[in-house]
């Protein structure tokens, strides 16, 4: 029989699937999948591919527990540098796929928060799909075990407290970062192209001469009359990597480009560079803000809410050249269809390469086209559509959606969807009442132990210890109750939103033309492909905001 210590040592390595398993003592062994997660980058790493010290410790603790229980190891799933609210964790999602395939019997974690900090996912997987798939969830520190029916409420309380903690943590971090931005400190994982982080002064930028030379050339070429598309094409023909590819080539842990087009200079990358005040020594941050603490999706913020601090670092572009370029940009700018902004501006993407399509004008008609094929050869098929045709397609689909909602929402969603949400609200009210009852019990308990202290039945130390314990429980229950109230408010809002969807569509369904505010409200983005050969069909996919 293999020594358990040797087995543990082998299993802590990255080659988990191939590690030897202890032979069965008798009967069929339960298969356990171990999940580990660490949210902060470990400073003890020797290489990017190494597991962090804390991840290794989690594995060791869980492997020891697993062997004590006599379970068999199926696999170890490990996400390093990911938060508990990140639903795109690669190993987390691999674990869920294997769970759905019934490849193991148990999911084993150090704590429930290692698996997720979101109450929604606790309910969806731990209390919903895992039992359906015949999988038991166990976390050893907080004693969560779905085989123990009596601690379901404790698991739900853990989930609520974890989510409350996540929301407060997010808000506190935001306040700290905003304060640093107001002081002109650079906040971000990467410096703007042309700069690098100062290794000797945190939050300060210094010039990266290799990239700065390209920045100066771009400004100079534009000042000499070259267009943004022409500049992008020149850089691509000389094989100069764009900012994304440059970071990757310099060994920074930047996202890997998915296509060849992602490594090329584009019209918008040149346009953004020419108007970025960071190149004249001003720190500009906060152009985008997160939608919520649960989402990584960002949305643009008005310029009045940006953080702009002048003179925080050495400029790459001198003021004379900057002013000349800004003047030329202002002169070249012209209104498009609806005044300052086109109705589909930055809303339409090429279905082939994913890049934002640019506006153009020919013989009095306005068009959208993918610029990828103009900046490098054989990169994209070159999607193309007229504004009139795209507007017609959007209005047509709006009318179809109105008819669908009339049939489906009135007959199905108004009944089934509303019933489900109302049932959820009823459950939350019951849970909230339980929390209020527990809060009252804690208050009563504190009064009771105080009387015991007065009577001499409890010492001062015993009283303080019990009081602290009851006060903590009271705070936890109060936090849970507040979270339940917030969740009920969100569901009520969702019910109102569901009722107003058809009203929102009907508001626009009889319109003959679109306006920019309508597009902003209704559409997230649109994908447009190239016209199918021999036909007049242009593939269009609209991603709505509702």
Tell me the backbone φ, ψ of residue 201, rounded to 5 degrees.
Answer: -145, 110
Q: What are the residues whose beta carbons fall under 8 Å from the beta carbon of 316, sequence distance 6 or more?
A: 194, 195, 207, 212, 215, 216, 279, 280
Give the integer Cα–Cα distance in Å for 295 and 301.
16
Give the integer Cα–Cα distance in Å for 376 and 319.
32
Sign of the dihedral defined by the CA atoms of residues 426, 430, 431, 436, in that order? positive
Tell me if residue 37 falls in helix, strand or coil: strand
User: Is 292 or 517 the better-scoring residue by pLDDT?
Assistant: 517
From 367, 389, 338, select the one nearest 540 (Cα to Cα). 389
Tally of CA atoms within 13 A in the half-sphere of 527 that contains its CB: 8
Confidence class for position 10, pLDDT limits 50, 70, 90:
very low
Tell me the backbone φ, ψ of residue 518, rounded to 5 degrees.
Answer: -65, -45
User: Is 84 or 260 the better-scoring residue by pLDDT?
Assistant: 84
What is 4-149's CATH superfamily? Resolvase, N-terminal catalytic domain (3.40.50.1390)
User: Is 405 or 31 the better-scoring residue by pLDDT?
Assistant: 31
Give the integer Cα–Cα distance in Å for 74 and 97.
14
User: Is 516 or 170 the better-scoring residue by pLDDT?
Assistant: 516
User: Bridge-partner residues for 197, per DSSP?
Assistant: 205
Give the integer Cα–Cα distance in Å for 294 and 306.
22
Cβ neighbours, 10 Å, residue 87: 15
Tokens at 59, concatenated: 């594995």
From 149, 59, 74, 151, select the one nearest 105 (Cα to Cα). 74
From 194, 515, 148, select the one nearest 343 (Cα to Cα). 515
Confidence class for position 178, pLDDT limits 50, 70, 90:
confident
Give the integer Cα–Cα distance in Å for 301 and 309.
17
105, 30 contact by CB (below 8 A): yes
Q: What are the residues whose beta carbons fall under 8 Å from the beta carbon of 227, sequence distance 6 or more?
A: none
Instruction: Report the pLDDT value the prediction gives residue 17, as an integer from 0 to 100.
Output: 37
Confidence class for position 412, pLDDT limits 50, 70, 90:
very low
Q: Is the pLDDT of residue 221 over 90?
A: yes
Instruction: Report the pLDDT value the prediction gives residue 201, as an integer from 0 to 100.
Output: 92
User: Is 527 or 401 the better-scoring residue by pLDDT?
Assistant: 527
User: Is 421 or 108 the better-scoring residue by pLDDT?
Assistant: 108
Instruction: Report the pLDDT value the prediction gives residue 229, as an integer from 0 to 100.
Output: 83
Tell me the backbone φ, ψ of residue 442, rounded to 5 degrees.
Answer: -65, -45
CA 143, chain centre distance (Å): 29
Tell me the backbone φ, ψ of residue 285, rounded to 5 degrees.
Answer: -140, 165
Q: Across 125-129, 247-251, 273-277, which has the greatest mean pLDDT?
A: 273-277
User: Is 187 or 82 the better-scoring residue by pLDDT?
Assistant: 187
Q: Which of 17-31, 169-183, 369-383 is predicted least confidently? A: 17-31
Which residue's structure tokens are 């902060």? 40
Q: Across 111-115, 218-222, 362-366, 493-497, which has the greatest mean pLDDT?
A: 218-222
Q: Is the pLDDT of residue 257 over 60?
A: no
Q: Across 8-22, 251-265, 280-294, 318-332, which has the greatest mean pLDDT?
A: 318-332
Instruction: Report the pLDDT value the prediction gives residue 93, as an integer from 0 to 100.
Output: 93
User: Bridge-partner residues for 300, per DSSP?
Assistant: 288
482, 164 contact by CB (below 8 A): yes
CATH of domain 183-333: 3.90.1750.20
Tally of CA atoms within 13 A in the half-sphere of 269 that contains its CB: 26
Tell me the backbone φ, ψ of residue 302, rounded to 5 degrees.
Answer: -60, 150
User: Is 159 or 438 the better-scoring residue by pLDDT?
Assistant: 438
Give the integer Cα–Cα distance in Å for 538 and 528.
7
Instruction: Report the pLDDT value the prediction gives residue 153, as an integer from 0 to 100.
Output: 66
């Amino acid at each position: 029989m293999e020594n358990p210590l040797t087995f543990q040592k082998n299993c802590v390595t990255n080659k988990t699937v191939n590690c030897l398993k202890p032979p069965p003592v008798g009967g069929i062994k339960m298969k356990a999948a171990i999940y580990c997660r660490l949210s902060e980058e470990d400073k003890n790493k020797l290489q990017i591919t190494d597991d962090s010290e804390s991840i290794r410790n989690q594995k060791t603790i869980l492997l020891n527990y697993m062997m004590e229980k006599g379970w068999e190891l199926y696999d170890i799933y490990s996400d390093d540098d990911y938060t508990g609210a990140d639903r795109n964790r690669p190993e987390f999602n691999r674990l869920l796929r294997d769970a759905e395939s019934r490849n193991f019997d148990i999911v084993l974690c150090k704590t429930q928060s290692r698996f997720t900090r979101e109450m929604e996912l606790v309910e969806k997987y731990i209390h919903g799909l895992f039992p359906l798939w015949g999988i038991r969830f166990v976390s050893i520190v907080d004693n969560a075990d779905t085989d123990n029916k009596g601690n379901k409420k404790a698991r739900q309380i853990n989930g609520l407290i974890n989510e409350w903690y996540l929301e407060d943590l997010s808000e506190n971090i935001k306040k700290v970062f905003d304060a640093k931005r107001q002081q002109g400190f650079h906040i971000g994982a990467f410096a703007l192209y042309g700069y690098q982080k100062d290794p000797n002064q945190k939050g300060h930028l210094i010039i990266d001469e290799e990239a700065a030379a390209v920045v100066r050339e771009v400004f100079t070429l534009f000042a000499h009359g070259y267009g943004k598309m022409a500049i992008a094409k020149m850089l691509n023909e000389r094989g100069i990597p764009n900012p994304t590819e440059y970071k990757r080539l310099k060994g920074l842990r930047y996202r890997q480009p998915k296509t060849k087009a992602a490594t090329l200079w584009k019209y918008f990358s040149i346009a953004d560079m020419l108007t970025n005040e960071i190149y004249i020594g001003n720190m500009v941050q906060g152009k985008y803000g997160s939608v919520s603490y649960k989402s990584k999706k960002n949305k643009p913020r008005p310029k009045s809410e940006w953080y702009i601090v002048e003179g925080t670092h050495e400029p790459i572009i001198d003021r004379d050249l900057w002013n000349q370029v800004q003047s030329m940009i202002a002169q070249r700018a012209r209104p498009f269809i609806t005044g300052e902004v086109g109705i589909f501006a930055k809303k339409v993407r090429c279905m082939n390469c994913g890049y934002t399509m640019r506006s153009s004008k020919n013989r009095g008609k306005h068009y959208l086209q993918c610029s990828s094929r103009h900046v490098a050869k054989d990169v994209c098929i070159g999607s193309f559509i007229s504004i009139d045709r795209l507007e017609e397609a959007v209005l047509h689909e709006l009318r179809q959606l109105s008819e669908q909602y009339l049939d489906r929402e009135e007959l199905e969603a108004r009944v089934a969807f509303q019933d489900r949400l109302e049932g959820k609200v009823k459950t939350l009210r019951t849970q909230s009442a339980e929390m209020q009852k527990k809060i009252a019990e804690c208050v009563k308990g504190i009064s009771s132990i105080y009387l015991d202290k007065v009577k001499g039945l409890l010492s001062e130390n015993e009283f303080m210890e019990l009081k602290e314990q009851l006060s903590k429980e009271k705070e936890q229950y109060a936090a849970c109750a507040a979270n339940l109230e917030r969740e009920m408010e969100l569901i009520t809002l969702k019910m109102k939103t569901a009722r107003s969807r058809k009203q929102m569509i009907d508001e626009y369904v009889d319109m003959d033309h679109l306006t920019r505010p309508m597009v902003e409200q209704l559409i997230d983005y649109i994908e447009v492909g190239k016209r199918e050969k021999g036909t007049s069909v242009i593939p269009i996919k609209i991603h709505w905001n509702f």
